[in-house]
A and B are shown apart, each in its own frame.
Chain A
Amino acid sequence: MTAADAVSRAAPAPAGGDRRRSGYLRYGLGRIGGAVVSLLAVLVTGFFLFRLIPGDPVKTMTGGRPVSAGQLAAYREEFGLDLPLWEQFTDYCGKALTGDLGTSYQFRAPVTEKLGEALGPTLLLTVTAFVLHTALGVLLGTRSAWHHGRTADRLHTGLALTLYSLPSFWLGLLLIVVLSVGVGPVPGLFPTGGMESGAEEGFAHVLDVAHHLVLPVVTLVAVEYGQTLLVTRSALLDEMGSDYLTTARAKGLRDDLVRRRHAVPNALLPTVTLIFVNLGRTVAGVVLVETVFSWPGLGGLFYQALSVPDLPLVQGLFLFFAAAVIILNTVADLLYPLLDPRVGR
């Protein structure tokens, strides 16, 4: 399959005591090899998406505005579009691998620089929302499954499904109308967008950013926690009939302990897998929420790039999002065997 697989297979058979570690090593190398192949596939996709699509990229870039033939030729040369496709491809790969993603058409600045500026705000928003929605989903999912069939379970499942069906951008717009602009007697409680409002320093600045963070985070958590809840619930329901839980109860353990120490850890693995596979969906949510709240992050940048369209920037962001999701998934794959010894043996 992959080069890494071949290497690990060619390695001499391990001595008995080392079997565990070499099993993990082989598993890990396989995963890393797979990730490298995936990343290369992203690189190739990124190239062909923007070159082989019907239509002239330069025409798309100038958005149908009247441009002189000389200017078109200058653009072609600037973006290397006058070279043969093969040379364009090797050129692009070489540059992308050294961190040069081209120049933004709109901002007249290197794409990498724009990405670097926007990364911080996105990480702040995404990590906060991610931690909260995962915690909320697992907590409520566990409750739901443990008391399945009761009113609380139905309420939680119903609410999760409803929120999961809402378009995140619409929820964001509504929250702005109700809580930022204010409807009727309700005053505006939160800022309508952006990440900071003044040139405040120190702790006041932190508070200011936190104040701006509330609505975007609430929106993201609301649309994302439902899936985690449902998966945790069904994974736990699968475990509920298991013999080891009966044994644990027969030992006289309290219900709470049976749940926390025995049932939940076993149900958590499918949940963790799903959370990481769904990172792609999270990225989509971030793009929309940042757009709605004018958050100065990668998602907002993506929207700005789309509306021009600023193809080098769109391409750079596509490569970045795809690579980030693949790398995070690989990290998760490498962590599973440590969480659950049944994996990767």
Chain B
Amino acid sequence: MKSNKIFYLVLMLALYLSACHDQLELKPFQSIDDAQASANESNVKAILTGAYDALADGDVLGGNALRNAELQAGEGEILWVGTFFDPREIFNKTMQTANNDATQLWLDGFNTINSANNVLAALDVVAEKDRKTVGGEALFIRAITNFELIRFFGKPYVAGQPNAQLGIPLITTPTRGINDASKVSRSTVEQVYAAIIADLLKAETDLPQTNSWRASSLAASALLSRVYLQQGDYAKARDAASKVIASAKFTLLADYEDVFNRDANSSEDIFAIQLTDQDGVNNMNTFFSIPDFGGRDGDIEILDGHLNLYPAGDKRKDLFFDGNAAMRSGKWNNQFGNVGIIRLAEMYLIRAECNARLNTSTGATAVADYNRTRIRAGLAAATTVTVDQILLERRLELAHEGFRVHDLKRTKQKVGNFNFDADKLVFPIPFREIEANSNLQQNPGY
């Protein structure tokens, strides 16, 4: 009898524990369902923050997009000595289609665009008063990402031509599922630039003039100026730059040295990737700096070929230092410092260049703008200036900040032995992407 009771007890216990189907309905703890995600305003705003986070990825504006632009045109000025094979391929212009840095730039770039598209598709749940700002920021993020991608994965934009060369796929809707429509083919370079400009013009209109560290109307204008310059549309580039300068929201810092290694934006920063010691990566630090400052082994050395460009007395040269048995750039020694993307000095230099090229003096004379950064660098003011002098000034002022290859391409100069529009100066469409999307055409030369 006693045994029987135990038997029933065991049986009941087993059945109780076993017969709960709802035990199969488990919910994740660290994630939420995508249906809920765009259901309310605070979630959409959170996705916008996520889009900034994606943009700040080490492979995009967290550093590598800038580093790649320096590496690809490093001839005689910098030397890649790191062990990583993929950056060395970029440096040597011997990229394989599986080059991991190219692949990651592509993947993380489009991941950023998808986040931005998620925001843009859910704007109707955002209250009227914030809707334009939220939307404008997402447009800015999409535009700056497309701009990074088109400059690496497409042949250069050439002014006065149809620019029908293949660009990148233009993605404007968030991904909800995978189907044949997911296999988007490449738009032309012209179409991509047009889309970037359209996004930025709307962002410029919708965003407040300043917006703390976030994308602002003036940041959109500044980026527009850069895009127009890349297109060789000097008048529009000049006007957009002039608008930023005229707003008087930004000022040049007194000391060049103070511009860099900042934990927070300075008055010179128009847009920067924000790092904290808990979040984000500064890959410019990783590769340009040395272990003492949290960098790798000093993977990029600065050569005399660059240092000799500075005229005597140029304070900017003093920022270089000898570390780990080579000369290093001093701009990237804060492991947790922001990655500067657009700063006021660039606007002065764009306006100077455009005014000089167009023989105008919108906002200021070319030489006046040219002198601003030179005087800060401790050099004597010039009285006249040529386009070439402005380009050199730009090369010094903005050295190792991710401009080099793009400037060479837009000014149709040679990169080492390569013509500005050489096949090998364009990244391959990543191998994995060609495999996953049969509608993609590989770039010539790969």
Bound together: no
Report which B residues bind A (CB closer than 8 A): none
